[in-house]
Homo-oligomer: A and B are copies of this chain.
Amino acid sequence: MARVVVDVMLKPEILDPQGKAVHGALDRLGFDGVASVRQGKRFEIELDGTATPERVAEIERAASTLLSNPVIEDFALRVEP
């Protein structure tokens, strides 16, 4: 059983109102010294069997089409041991 983690974040040039709201809440609750907050999604995908390069390439294809919107989001994929 292998695990692939896909992190999906808004591209840096896209406004992130969710992150801004969290940043505002941190300020109001007295957590100082935060310059910015951005919020994204994390997917933990468990594969049957091992993470062969073909399987990982397929998950990468899924990440770029189903898990993220390539117009406004970037994703990072890594295989966890």
Contacts and interface: CB of A to CB of B under 8 A. Distances in A.
Count of this chain's copies in the oligomeric assembly: 2
B31 A59 contact: yes
Interface of A: 1, 7-9, 19, 22, 25-26, 29, 31, 33-49, 55, 58-59, 61-62, 66-67
Given A33-B48, A40-B43, 9 more contacts: A7-B42, A31-B58, A31-B61, A33-B58, A34-B46, A34-B47, A34-B48, A37-B46, A40-B41
**Top 5 A-B pairs ranked by shortest CB distance?**
A35-B46, A42-B42, A36-B46, A40-B42, A38-B44
Contacts of A44: 9, 19, 37-40
Contacts of A48: 33-35
